[in-house]
């Protein structure tokens, strides 16, 4: 969410009515999340000036670990230097820390492509935004889920009950520090996640939603403490429920 919001902001700065705007003091502390959108807190160090040049050799974009040769345009300006400066700063301050983590395994290659392409400045801001929106579409639609045997048949569904919220086994990247609360596309994906965790004996799809509209599933190791809830369904592993009274 943070990276996508940042890319949308940089897209606007690259195509602003004032021209391409560079953030000269590009640090994480310069940004804040407001209602799920990243905002710049200080525009004092923003600039619409693009470096003047006479030849391509005048247009090297230097960073502490990398340098990028750019082209000198016909009007004597280093072509796209503000956009590329913003994009590489987004890569080194945000993408490298946030993109490799917490995505479903099937989506990680797409995020790795974005990371590599922005790190080498092979993508401009237009291509980067398009790539992010493709990943978001795959994520929200569930199209990233690979065809595999249906696992939900290995679970008993107990309608009209939910589990008591409390401390249970931890997993990563959980939305709760008390237990294992993960975003899922639906019950089938939740069953696959539960199967992959040795501690998991049951799960429930909660009423909570993430910023993408996906539900959160709570995974638990205990079969006890079920309470009535007309709107809920608890899914229990058949292997866990055998020999036990529900």
pLDDT at 94: 95
Angle at which helix 81-90 crosses helix 125-141, to 10 degrees, equals 40
CA–CA dist 138, 194 (Å, integer): 22
Mean pLDDT of the region 74-103? 92
CATH match of 1-144 with 1.10.3470: no
**pLDDT per position as a tens digit, 23-81:** 988 989 999 999 889 999 887 789 998 899 999 999 999 999 899 999 999 999 998 99
DSSP per-residue letters across 22-73: EESS--GGGEEEETTEEEES--TTEE----B-SSGGG-EEE-SS-EEE-PBP
Among 1-10, 133-142, 218-227, the least confident range:
218-227
pLDDT at 245: 45
What is the Rg, in whole angstroms, of the alpha carbon atoms belonging to the chain?
24
Angle at which helix 2-14 crosses helix 125-141, to 10 degrees, equals 150
* CATH top-level class of 152-242: alpha beta
In contact, 187 and 193? CB cutoff 8 Å:
no
Catalytic residue among 25, 42, 58, 120: 25
By 3-state DSSP, what share of the chain in percent is helix, strand and coil, each rounded to 5?
A: 35, 25, 40
The yes-or-no answer on residue 25 being catalytic is yes
Mean pLDDT of the chain: 90
**pLDDT per position as a tens digit, 105-161:** 889 999 999 999 999 999 999 999 999 999 999 999 999 987 777 889 999 998 888
Report the Cα 219 to chain-centroid distance in Å.
Answer: 21
Give the up-direction half-sphere exposure of residue 188: CA atoms within 13 A in the CB hemisphere. Answer: 8
Domain boundaries along the sequence of the chain: 1-144, 152-242
Q: Quote the pTM value.
A: 0.85
**pLDDT per position as a tens digit, 184-200:** 999 999 999 999 999 99
């Amino acid at each position: 969410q943070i990276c996508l919001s940042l890319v949308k902001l940089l897209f606007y700065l690259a195509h602003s009515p004032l021209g391409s705007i560079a953030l000269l003091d590009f640090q994480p502390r310069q940004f804040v999340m407001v209602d799920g959108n990243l905002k710049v807190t200080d525009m004092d160090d923003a600039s619409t000036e693009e470096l003047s040049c006479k030849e391509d050799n005048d247009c090297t974009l230097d960073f502490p670990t990398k340098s990028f040769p750019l082209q000198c345009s016909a009007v004597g300006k280093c072509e796209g230097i503000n956009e590329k400066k913003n994009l590489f700063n987004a890569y080194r301050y945000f993408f490298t820390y946030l993109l490799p983590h917490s995505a479903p395994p099937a989506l990680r290659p797409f995020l790795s492509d974005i990371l590599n392409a922005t790190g080498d400045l092979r993508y401009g801001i237009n291509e980067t935004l398009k790539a992010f929106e493709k990943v978001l579409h795959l994520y929200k639609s569930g199209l990233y889920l690979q065809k595999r045997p249906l696992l939900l048949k290995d679970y008993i569904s107990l309608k009209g009950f939910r589990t008591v919220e409390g401390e249970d086994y931890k997993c990563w990247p959980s939305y709760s520090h008390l237990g294992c609360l993960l975003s899922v596309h639906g019950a089938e994906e939740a069953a696959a996640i539960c199967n992959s965790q040795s501690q998991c004996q049951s799960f429930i799809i909660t009423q909570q939603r993430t910023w993408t509209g996906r539900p959160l599933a709570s995974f638990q190791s205990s079969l006890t403490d079920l309470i009535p809830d007309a709107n809920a369904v608890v899914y229990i592993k058949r292997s866990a429920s055998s020999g036990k009274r529900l």
